[in-house]
Structure formats: structure tokens, C-alpha cells
Amino acid sequence: MKTSFTTLLTILIYLSVNAQTFYKGVDLSYVNQMEDCGVIYYDAGTAGDPFQIMADHGANIVRVRLWHTPEAWASFPSSYSGYNDVVTTITRARSSGMSVLLDFHYSDTWVDPGKQAIPSAWASLVNNTSALETKMYDYTFQVLSDLDQLGLMPEFVQVGNETNGSMLFPEGANIYPIDWNRQSAIINAGIAGVRAAGNNSTIQPKVVLHIANPVHGDGWFGSAVANGVTDFDIMGFSLYPEWHGGNIGQTGDIVEYLRTTYNKDVMLVEVGLPWTDASNDAAGNILSQMPSGYGVPSPAAQRNWLVDITTEVHNRGGIGVIYWEPAWVSTGCDTEWGTGSHYENATFFDFNNELITDGGVQFLEQSYGAGVNNVTFSVDMTGVTGANGAYVTGNFTGSGSWQIIPMVNEGGNIYTYSTSIPVGTIGAYYFLKNNTWGDRETVPAECALQWGTDREYTIQAGQNVLAFPWGSCTPMTERTVTFRVDMTGVNGAQGAYVTGDFTGASWQILSMTHEGNNIYSYTTTMEEGATGGYYFLKRNKWSFRETVPSECALAYGTDRQYTITGTNNTFAFGWGSCDQASARVVTGIGLPSENQELSVYPNPVADVLYLKNSSYRQYSLMNLSGATLLSGTLSRTDQISMDGLPKGIYILRLTGVDTEVIRVVKE
């Protein structure tokens, strides 16, 4: 039964969930050690604090490991990853404006699914569960209380690291199967220590339990809950594609299942993958492979997988993703296993310690929740009597009892709601003018294809916009709109961003996608006839906006102006310029001489790309992965049909007397 109480409760839960911070973070546990080894980190050629570098690129949380009594190795003292080192790391994270996840290993060294070595100070108690409970509680409580006295209480606390097997066992011991009577007592004691310390603080840390590989989530957490481990907040996972598989959809399914089954938040607290298969020292690299579908290791492949997995985690209800460890670069210092780094090919920095701006760091720069959903429902409420906003419902809001979802007022009586629905899904929906079931629209018979009363959707690959006036079958005239900026030579740029009145009543800063060659773009949909203002920024901060020349500052005297028409809606300019930015990137050998006047138009293209040339003979059209989609022979004036190809960016290679490569955008 669809009751008003159920509807109200649903909306309150919806608003609460969508107001929660989504965490994009980095584990920086190695930084203090790296800097002591002489490392200097660079961003755009300027030396910088790696904590601030990560924060400037969008990180909002830092993870840091804690060992009980760290072991010394080779030339290194036993201070790194100990309490004092953690104090330094948390202080630096806070100074850069980021939250903190403190990772208790409950060991003197690394622990993982294969080993959970008990601290040497507790070794004599390995068979005394009651005594271990006391140690777990006292140690956890004391560390957190001491941090709180320094004003450094972390927002999140991990009670154990990759605890797939039994905790607090001797080095080399078989930690499977888990004795859950012992395990649950130990974990609960650690949790109790967190809660007690939090009760004395202005910050009550959320408790994270962490295992490796999400596919083990149901089995491990099911056993934990069945054995009385229930007072925790977040299910944390490690996900390394090389060891655990990198299937995006499968991970999303698991995140959603665990979140709804156990009523706990879900976070990926460790992810990692390489940007190159090369090495910068003699220490063997521990990562070398990319997941299926992402090609060979490269900065772009690293970035793409990270953006894809983080988008999926967000869309399926997870609360964050943390990358491990983007700053463990190569040095002449020793590790436990050799000299150098075993991870320099998987950091966010190149072999000169320069931030790779088009690599994995870009996953931090994305505004997850803004433009990442694949379905937008839109309704024009103009002239609707008795409307109190707009709402939408359908079988995508719940398999049994449908839910009424409030829509966002975009201005001009247009309301939207965006979500994610699996490709291929066919379902029903309709709009409402109030938050009551009786105030639904009457869908005309010709488009009431579901049960004779409701609208029908069929989800295709890519973006799906379902836009209609209230009670009408005539689609609203939504148009694809692309904003593009050329950032060549812009000092201090950290990517590119755009804002405008199309981003909401309270303007939002949106991250733009790097297309290569310093060209950035952002694509959305708008109603034909819409007009307004916008401008570009070189950082995710309001003070880093461009100064628009007066001759093209046609909106508010300071901003660029857009007007949406029924044809091409691409607004492309150089930073701080009224000159149009070219989508054309030329490379190769034997470039055309001045009298060869090659013309490629229109670009962006719809279905047919026209070429007027004087010397080219052969062409091949490739996607960004390098796969050839079309090829053929050109005459002096020719055309290439792109009908049937999806929207996106393509590379057109022309060969003959000369070679030229042109970036083609289909919209």
C-alpha cells in the first residue's frame, strides 16, 4: 500500500543519503619517509607539499597506517608508521583541509589476508583471548585519546587491516579458518575502544572493518554479524584489479547488495593499478596489469579505470574510494625488500616526481554525483494548476512499493531527476505535481505504453534524457551542449572547470574532461531557446576564474553567454579569449604547406564529415583506443559517413603525400 507515511519516510531517507559527503582520497603513509629520503614532489613544475597537491586536485580524505612497535630494517629507524609518524601525517592532512582515516594494523609490520602477526609486546598473550581483548581496548582507546588531546582525532578508524583471516596470530601461523569466538571478541574490544574515546571527544569516529576483495564481503561480514560484531559503521574493502579482478559492474552489484542487506555504508579503502609497466629502480614492481578492457598500463588507462570504479561506487550507494599509495616514488633508500620503490609505476607521479596531470589523479578531480548518472527524467510544469514542485515515480524507484522522488527545479518551470538504471532495462514511470499519489499526471493513451496508464522507458547505452511537458507525449526539445576550452599556456592550471547558470540556481563548479593537447570539454543537455552565462576556471576554486574580454562578456558584463539553438551547440574558446578554440590537433610528419588549405568540417560532426584537400589519398578513423573503425580512399573533395557511430572523440588519420592527424568530435 502506498501510504503518505511511507512516502515521507522514503524522502527523508533519500535526502539524508544524498546529503552525505562522498570521499575521494589517498593513503599517504609513505610521504614522511619519502621526504626524509630526499624526494621533492612537483605539480606543474613547481615543488609542493604532496598533501596540499592532493587536496588541490580534489582529495578530501587521507588514510594513514599505524603499527604498534614498528620494526627497523636496513638503514631505516623504527619510527615510520608508528605513533609519532601518524601524528605528523594527520597534522599535515588537517592543515590541507582533509579528513582522516586511521588504519590500526594491530601489528608491528604489514598485515594482509595471509598474515596477521601479533605485536611483539603482546606475543605471550596469543592464546589468552580475554587478555587480548583488554590489550585491544586499552591500546585503541589510548592512541585515540592521545590524538584527541592534540586536536587530531580522526573522523574514521579502521579496526584491523585486511582481516580476512584470524587476527593477532604468530608470524607464519595458519590464520584460517577463523575462530569467530576469538575473532569477534578481539574486534568488538577494538570497536569499544574507539567508541569510548569518541565519547570523550567532539569527534566520534566512524568504525571501519576492512577486508580484501569485495567478493568475500557477504561471507566475511555475514559471519561477523552472526557472531555479534554489529557495532560498526562502514564495510571497507581493498580492490586491486591485478589480484581481485577489476569488473566495474560486479563491484557495483556487490556494493549495492551489501549496503542494502546489512544497512551499512560501503567504501573502497584501498585501490591501486599501474600507469606504466616500466621501472625506475631495481626493486621489483608489485603491480603490472590492467583489468580487461582498459588496455596496457598508461596514465589514461589508470585514470579511466579509477574514474569508472569511483563513479560506479557512488552510483550504487557507496561513500568513497581511497587510492593506495600515490606518493611511494623511487628513492635510493631501502625498504624491507630492497632499494627503491616497488610501486613507482603505480603512483600519481612520473619518474621525475612530477604529478601526471592526465593520469590517476584526475579521479580526485571529478564531481561525482554531477553528470555521472545515465538517465535524466525531465518535466515542464508550465501552467500546471496546483503544482507544488514536481515529482517522479516508477519501477526504478523500488521493485515492490514504488517511491515518490522529488525533482530538482532547474528554473523556467523545468524539473529534473537523474539516476542510474542498467542498460537494456524497460520500465514504467510518471510525474506528479505534489508529494501525494492522487496528484499524478494523466498520461495520454498514445504514450501510456505501460499498463495503459504510465510512460515507458528503455535504457540505451550512454546518456538517456526522458523529457516531456506535464501530461503530454510531445518530447521537450532538449539539445546536447558542449563547452570546450583551450588551456594552452595557462599558468597555474590544474585541469579546467566550467560554471554557469545551467549548473543550478547556486552555480556549481564542474570538472571538465581532458581531450588531449590542453583541450578540455564538458557536455550536458539544455532546453532549446535557453540562454544564460558561463565561464571557465583553472582550478576548483572560485578565485581562479578566467577574465572574459569585454567584447564577449555578454552575460552580466563579466561572463560568456550561451544561447541554445536547434543545431550545433558547441561553445569553444581559448582561455580568457574571444577567439574560437579549435578541436583540431595536428601531429605527424610532412605537415601541409600553406597552399594546401585542408578543410575538415563540420567539427563537431553529426553524421557526415566533409573533407576538402589537395594531397591526401587514404584515411582511417580510429577510436581513442587505437582501433580502426573506418578506412578508405579519398578524392580531392570527399566525405566520410559517421552515421551509426556513437557520440565521442575520434582520431582521423590522413595519409598520402603528407600525414596529418585530426581530432574529430561527434555530438
Phi, psi dihedral angles at 306 (to 5 degrees): -65, -40
Would residue 410 show up in a list of annotated catalytic residues for this protein?
A: no
CA atoms of 365 and 60, how far apart (whole Å): 11
Residue of 35, 133, 155, 162 marked catalytic: 162
> Would the pLDDT of 349 be above 60?
yes
In the predicted model, what is the mean pLDDT of residues 552-566?
86
* Residue of 450, 411, 446 whose CA lies nearest to 430: 450
Contacts of 482 (CB under 8 A, 6+ apart): 521, 522, 523, 569, 570, 571, 572, 604, 665, 667
In the predicted model, what is the mean pLDDT of residues 414-428?
79
Would residue 270 show up in a list of annotated catalytic residues for this protein?
A: yes
CA atoms of 657 and 615, how far apart (whole Å): 6
Percent of the chain scoring above 90 in pLDDT? 54
CA atoms of 546 and 493, how far apart (whole Å): 11
Judge whether 375-469 and 478-574 match in fold: yes
More confident residue, 64 or 289: 64
The answer to which of 169-173, 501-505, 518-522 has the lowest mean pLDDT is 501-505
Give residue 260's pLDDT: 85
Class of domain 375-469: mainly beta
The answer to which of 185-189, 354-358, 582-586, 650-654 has the lowest mean pLDDT is 582-586
What are the Cα distances from residue 104, in Å, to 158, 171, 221, 548? 6, 18, 19, 50
Say if CB 267 and CB 157 are below 8 A apart.
Answer: no
Class of domain 594-666: mainly beta
- Stated pTM of the model: 0.58
pLDDT in tens, 619-645: 888 775 567 788 888 765 578 888 778
Model confidence at 400, pLDDT cuts 50, 70, 90, reads low
Q: What are the domain boundaries of the chain?
A: 23-365, 375-469, 478-574, 594-666
pLDDT in tens, 42-99: 999 999 999 999 999 999 999 999 999 997 765 555 689 999 999 999 999 999 999 9
Tell me which CATH code domain 23-365 carries. 3.20.20.80
Residue of 71, 133, 270, 478 marked catalytic: 270
- Fold observed for domain 478-574: Immunoglobulin-like (2.60.40)
In the predicted model, what is the mean pLDDT of residues 407-423?
74
> Would the pLDDT of 14 be above 50?
no
